Copies of this chain bind each other. A is one copy, B any other.
Amino acid sequence: MINKLITKIQKTNAPIVVGLDPMLNYIPKQIQKRAFDEYGETLEGAAEAIWQYNKEIVDAVYDLIPAVKPQIAMYEQFGIEGLKAFKKTIDYCKQKDLVVIGDIKRGDIGSTSEAYAIGHLGKVTIGSKTCRGFDEDFVTVNPYLGTDGIKPFIDVCKSEKKGLFILVKTSNQSSGEFQDRFIDGKPLYEYVGEKVAEWGADCMGDSYSYIGAVVGATYPEMGKVLRKVMPKSFILVPGYGAQGGKASDLLPYFNEDGLGAIINSSRGIIAAYKQEAYAQFGDASFADASRQAVLDMIKDINEAIGK
């Protein structure tokens, strides 16, 4: 799957991923109204609104981008109904040949991590059959529990040819509270980065490992160090745009081959029509605004990394 991701990045010339993190207040009123008219102001109604919103955005941008990253929390807040919209979104994006990165940030002790890995990347045995749960292509994983929390995810990736992005340095303001603490002269995130490189070493695709890392766009100095610590790991970079990360900060996340990083934008794309710059599209053409925002983001990033 890492090879497919890279091929698609090269084909689209777009090292970006669109975060499908819908909030009800992003969704144009006409879509909410149609959904609520049919299902009421219920969890089901909210899930229907999210699904219709996602579908229009995906239809408008799928040919421009290699991948999407649905953030499961935004669906999980609507319980079972929300998770049905999550699953529908995954399946639809895969039909459109997009690589799907499930932003699930799971992580637990061994046997429990195995259950998450099976549910999101693999297949579960039921009697004499096997079935698939959510079936993303990549997922994000939290490393706080150490190797035996990560290993089951890696094992499933090996057999399924899928991949991970492990949290190393997150984009949020208080990420430093624990991640930046110094241990024998090095911050914790660097130790985690070293582990990611170690875990990824025998999980190689053609040129990159399928065990990648998450490093926030908001910390470019750390991105520079971590790029060197994990030369063969793809880096998923959240925090561009709405969270404050600038394109000019992104160069250190890439390798000299122009690869090695994929930049996420969520709100900046899916709620583009709410920004002044795209206000001319209006509510009805919100998906066209998203398309324009994708084109602008690709240009912005390619200029910054000199492509």
Contacts and interface: CB of A to CB of B under 8 A. Distances in A.
A223 interface: no
Contact of A177 (B83, B109, B195): B195
A181 B172 contact: no
A36 B106 CA distance: 29
Given A24-B126, A109-B172, A174-B149, A116 B167 contact: no
Copies assembled = 2
A163 interface: no
A146 B172 contact: yes
Interface residues of A, number: 71
A129 interface: yes
A285 to B, nearest CB: 23
Contacts of A126: 24, 36, 41-43, 45-46, 78
Interface stretch (A68-76, A205-213, A298-306): A68-76
Given A42-B126, A80-B84, A107 B191 contact: no
A258 interface: no
Residue of A113, A119, A132, A173 contacting most chain B CB atoms (<10 Å): A119
Contacts of A46: 124, 126, 131
A82 interface: yes
Which 4 pairs show the lowest CB-CB distances between chains A and B? Answer: A79-B133, A146-B177, A146-B174, A41-B127
20 contacts: A36-B127, A41-B127, A41-B128, A42-B126, A43-B131, A73-B116, A76-B133, A76-B134, A79-B131, A80-B80, A80-B84, A82-B119, A105-B107, A144-B178, A145-B172, A149-B172, A178-B191, A178-B192, A183-B183, A183-B188
Interface of A: 21, 24, 32, 36, 41-43, 45-46, 71, 73-74, 76-80, 82-84, 87, 105-110, 112-113, 115-116, 118-120, 124-129, 131-134, 142-149, 167, 170-179, 181-184, 188, 191-192, 195
